[in-house]
Amino acid sequence: MTTEAASETEVKKEPEKSEEQPAAAEPDAAAQTAEPAAGDGKKEPEQPKPAGNNPAGDNPGSDQPAPDGAAPPAPGEAPQNPEAPPPTSEKKKEKEQPAGKGISRFLPPWLKRQKSQSQEPPKEAPKEGSEPPAKDGEPEQGPEGKEPTPEPQPEAKEPPPEQEEKHSIGSADTQPVKEEKAEDEEVKETEEKKAEEVKKEEEQTAKPEGKPAKSPLKLTKKMKMVVCQVAMLDGTQFSCEVEKRAKGQYLFFKVCEHLNLLEKDYFGLSFKDNADQKCWLDPTKEIKRQIRSSPWQFAFNVKFYPPDPSQLTEDITRYLLCLQLRQDIASGRLPCSFVTHALLGSFSLQAELGDHDPDEHRLDYISDFQFAPSQTKELEEKVVELHKTHRGLTPAQADAQFLENAKKLSMYGVDLHHAKDSEGVDIMLGVCANGLLIYKDRLRINRFAWPKILKISYKRSNFYIKIRPGETEQFESTVGFKLPNHRAAKKVWKVCVEHHTFFRLVTPEQPQKAKFLTLGSKFRYSGRTQAQTRQASSLIDRPAPYFERTSSKRVSRSLDGAPVVSVTDSALKPDASAPALSSPVAEENGREPGLELPSDSKSKLRVKGENIYVRHSNLMLEDLDKTQEDVLKHQASISELKRSFMESTPDPRPSQWEKRLTASPATSLRLQAQGSADVKQKPEPGELAEVEIEETVVIEEIRKAPKAKPATPEIAAVPEVAVISAAAEKEKKEEKRRSREASTSSESHSESEEEAEYHPQVASVSVEQIKEEPEEEEKEEEEELSKETPPPAVSPAAEAPPDVTVVGKGAAVVVKEEVEEEESAENTAVPADEGQNGHPEAPPEEEEEEPRVNGDASHEAERIPQVICCSEPPVVKTEMVTISDTFAAQKTEISTKEVPIVHTETKTITYEAAQLDGSGDGEPGVLMTAQTITSESLCTTTTTHITKTLKGGLSETRIEKRIVITGDSDIDHDQALAQAIKEAKEQHPDMSVTRVVVHKETELAEEGED
């Protein structure tokens, strides 16, 4: 949530940021926020707070009311909180703990809650009146204060089975959504005012979320601390205790703090997976889920090699880059000629030892250094010879010279991956700042600059790039490569997406903000781009931090084996520490103040990237406008930038994740329910998860609608819902926000869950294979899809009202050329209205089919969340647009369980007729029959899945039609779709169309550069 909120807020914030940030900047406000955060446990603290609020609203039906009531007061109380920080901190801790305890599952709800809470506070404040705007700091505190009370309850609830919790959560989410919708309009007004506050809060929360701290451990029962070993570039080992559920970001921040590094965007943490492959730790995801069974051992590495190191702002950054390059050279990863080895080695000597001293520096004085993979006496002599010529160079100058020479190496910054070409020939894929390089042996045989790449995708173990047609070519071509396995393919894909974003884009954000409807999840780089980090770096004004160069450490290492971290710390000088090191309290929390502050960073982060995994990314689509805006915004809030820089790191994502987790319950359920389907979905983890998220959101919206109309008993089933109904208008508003948040959170949760599951699967080779297969099936084969669908279908049916036979006709339209935007726009419009009417449905089946997702969707999805935060209609939030038919609206129960999982990167638009779904849990019906019929004609391929299920004596026949319309933009897809739907209706007059899912697989021809 936070992340989403952050993103949204960020968008708005950027302008606002200046305002907000200043406020935050203000010692008082900052201190307050920081303290609470610290107390809570660093980043999480904030979350906990929100969680507390949410719980009140969502979780305990009975309890919630009270919390809600409490919540409103909170704003007023907020001031008090500052006074009594300890309690809040404790409470927070408690909250955190629950979250911590709650495994991913637990977390999700909490996160959701947290998110909602965070959002709520602002809303509440507005409602209450007048207090809100004036007090920036207060609102935040208020939420925190509220949180505490709710927290306890949530914790109690959490203990129950995860699944149940999830369900409840899901229901809760849905309810909130409803309320939100109703309230949205009202809220919007207030929101604008409060928006700023909220944003602030969100930012705060976001920061905390990003850093689940240790503090939780103390309080939480389940919270477990894990000691991470991080291999630093100087050869030392940095050990850091993190909460078991901490996200990559947290650890990364700790490491950067330890290093006193501000220009951290070039760096990352890596780990070795069980296949001994080096993987980057995703800052937005939980560490545990990424490393799985691998030991908690990481390495601090350069992730993005700056093409021009001289543009780095600080010497310490250059120094670290030097260390990385020395490592690369010594290991042979960065091939050099003899002369270059010698030259670079001589600069290393100059940097570490200073001027050559004939007396002190005998030939053997360099024996400790490794200049090349295989070091010869001849080389050492040459190094010494060159060392003598560097007399007078300061260490910083020597480093600069080192980099000036190293950057010219052809393999500088090239990340190589083994692959085979279409003919099975062994090649290497090299991802670098400029694009993708193809090597055969040592020879460069092809090169694809980013501007020439229209799309990057992977499927199974294949990696594809779609190339912009050349001057003499009419058609774009797709080049495919075979990687050793699915994971490798995804890894390359992710690296490509990250490099493209970092080096090629001004901001991580995607151009398509406006589109609410976009569907499809995409992985994106969430950090800052090079342009952003440069800008941020330009604002660094601290005295150059003191740091020790390797020599001493190297020595120590040689002596001790692993130098103690303390050395580094000591190395760090105060100046840097001042900003970075927050008050002791912050440290206690485990996070730097900077991290908490990151409102800016959050906003940035949000903007930059949301956690969406898109298989296909439209690299070419770059929104300059947005980026520029972002830039301007950034500029506007210089102070924030500074702070953010210090703290900066994309915290937002974590929050999203958490949110998603919370929301995820449904998905989790589904996953559990769906055996095979899950597996399939899992393979695509990130992406799938994302998609699911979107879908969940939709559901929530639908749910919201029902709530708004009647305080339906149905809702009662879900405690949270009940609470909502009870809640006063204020509460409703809050709930709405919450729901929104929840929805967003749900998304995040779903992702996280998927990831979690995914990882495990991945862990075992067999599992991976399975995953791959499923993915393939889903994407490519309709039949497989049908298989998958059945399970979900059943579950929905069970929940669905017994009386009604729901005939779902899902038409998946795969459009291959740029139709997306138009359609999406339409969809968005509709959904919002209908969303209210709509009832919760279980779209899973269709969504599952959707696997074919284009990269575009993901972008939109990310954007969407942001928009939502802004106070726009909840519907907007979701990428998936669900249109429920009026007739279907009869029953409104929240069926969270049925969340479609989309593996694809394509945009998916779902029109849903309200289905009569029973409670989400509904018993899965018995699958009577299932058959698949496929027919093709012209440009359309129709696949019909007929599924009969028995639920408690009621039989439900579900027909899913998948219609693939292939063609150029010439084809009127809308017309084709309409025709298809019409035909479907005619064929089955006695059935109703409950869902229409439109998958657009479009390749944005958005221009790239060049």
Partner 1 sequence: MASVRPYGHFTHAVVRGIPESFGRKAEGGETDGECETDLAKAQRQFGVLTGALRQKVGLQLIEIPPDPNLPESWRIEDVAVIQGDTALITRPWKQQRRSEAEALRRVLSELNLTVVEMGGEEGGSGGATLEGSDVLFTGKEFFVGISSHTNHRGAEVLADTFRDFAVSTVPVCGGARLKNVCSMGGPNTIVIGNSEGAKKTLRTMEQLTDHHYEVLTVPEDMAANCIYVRGASKMDFLLHRPTEECPNSAPAFQKLTDYTLLPTACSEAFKLGGVLSSFCLLINRKLQI
Contacting positions for partner 1 (CB under 8 A)? 335-340, 343, 385-386, 389, 405, 408-410, 434, 440-447, 470
Is residue 319 within 8 A of residue 399, CB to CB? The reply is yes
Whether the CB-CB separation of 395 and 318 falls below 8 Å is answered with no
**Three-class SS state of 577:** helix
Nearer to partner 1, 368 or 1009 (CB): 1009
Give the Cα separation of 780 and 918 in Å (integer).
33
Beta strands 225-231; 237-243: pairing state: antiparallel
> In angstroms, rounded to a whole number, what is the distance separating the alpha carbons of residues 330 and 236?
17
Nearest-angstrom CA–CA distance, 24 and 28: 8
Q: Which is nearer to partner 1, 159 or 335 (CB)?
A: 335
Neighbours of 244 (CB within 10 A): 18
- Asked whether 44 and 99 are in contact (CB, 8 A), the reply is yes
- Please report how close the Cβ of residue 431 comes to partner 1 at its closest, in angstroms: 13
Please, what is the minimum distance in Å from the beta carbon of residue 591 to partner 1?
40
| Identity of the residue, 336 or 398, whose beta carbon is nearer to partner 1 in the bound complex | 336
CB of 445 to partner 1, least distance (A): 6
Smallest separation (angstroms) from partner 1 to the CB of 332: 10
CB-nearer residue toward partner 1: 445 or 728? 445
Q: Residue 129 or 470: which CB sits closer to partner 1?
A: 470
CB of 325 vs partner 1, minimal distance in Å: 13
Best CA proximity match to 908, nearest among 798, 807, 831: 831
The DSSP letter of residue 500 is I
Q: How many CA atoms lie within 13 A of 948 on its CB side?
A: 6
How far apart (Å, rounded) are the C-alpha atoms in residues 691 and 607?
19
Distance between first and last Cα of the chain: 37
Q: Least CB distance from residue 425 to partner 1, whole Å?
A: 11
Q: Could you give the CA distance from residue 367 to residue 956 in angstroms, rounded to a whole number?
A: 78
Distance CA 463, CA 461 (A): 7
In whole angstroms, what is the distance from residue 292 CA to residue 53 CA? Answer: 32
Q: Which is nearer to partner 1, 405 or 890 (CB)?
A: 405
What amino acid is encoded at 458 in this protein? Y
Say whether 232 sits in a helix, a strand or coil: coil
DSSP secondary structure, 118-147, as one string:
HHHHHHHHHHH-SHHHH-SHHHHHHHHHHT
- Reported as type and span, the H/E element at residue 301 is strand 297-302
Are the C-beta atoms of 695 and 785 separated by less than 8 Å? no
Q: How far is CA 302 from CA 7, 285, 412, 981, in A?
A: 26, 19, 12, 52
Pick the closer one to partner 1 by CB: 110 or 503. 503
Q: How far is the CB of 610 from partner 1 (least distance, A)?
A: 32
Count of CB atoms within 10 A of residue 492's CB? 22
Contact between residue 960 and residue 849 where contact means Cβ atoms under 8 Å apart: yes
Shortest spacing between CB 406 and partner 1, in angstroms: 8
Q: How far is the CB of 443 from partner 1 (least distance, A)?
A: 5
Q: How far is the CB of 134 from partner 1 (least distance, A)?
A: 56
Q: Count CA within 13 A, CB hemisphere, residue 730.
A: 19
With respect to partner 1, which residue has the nearer C-beta, 339 or 939? Answer: 339
CB 412 to partner 1: min, Å: 10
Tell me the CA distances in angstroms from 745 to 67, 134, 169, 831, one per residue in order: 20, 28, 10, 20
Q: Minimal distance in Å, beta carbon 439 to partner 1?
A: 9
Nearer to partner 1, 401 or 507 (CB): 401
Cβ proximity to partner 1: between 447 and 554 the closer is 447
DSSP string, 749-806: HHHHHHHHHHHHHHHSHHHHHHHHHHHHHHHH-HHHHHHHSHHHHHHHHHHB-SSPPP
Q: Rounded CA gap, 983 and 937, in Å?
A: 14
* In the complex, minimum distance from the CB of residue 473 to partner 1, in angstroms, rounded to a whole number: 11
**Of residues 224 and 420, the one with the C-beta less far from partner 1:** 420
CB 321 → partner 1: shortest distance, Å? 17
CA distance 70 to 74: 6
Q: Considering only CA atoms, which of 841, 845, 833 is closest in space to residue 876?
A: 833
Q: What's the chain's Rg over C-alpha atoms?
A: 27
Kindly state the smallest distance separating residue 428's Cβ from partner 1, in Å.
12
CA 225 – CA 648 distance, rounded (Å): 24
**Do the beta carbons of residue 203 and residue 598 sit within 8 Å?**
yes
Q: How far apart are CA 371 and CA 380, in angstroms?
A: 8
Question: Which residue is it, tokens 């992977």?
Answer: 458
CA distances from 115 to 54, 176, 832, 897 (A): 7, 12, 22, 21
Residue whose structure tokens are 């809760």: 172
- When the beta carbons of 444 and 982 are compared against partner 1, the nearer one is 444
Find the shortest distance in angstroms from Cβ 323 to partner 1. Answer: 19
**Could you give the CA distance from residue 489 to residue 671 in angstroms, rounded to a whole number?**
24
Shortest reach from residue 338's CB to partner 1, in Å:
7
Nearest to partner 1 of 276, 441 (CB atom): 441
> Quick one: which of 740, 748, 848 has its CA closest to 796?
848
CB of 525 to partner 1, least distance (A): 22
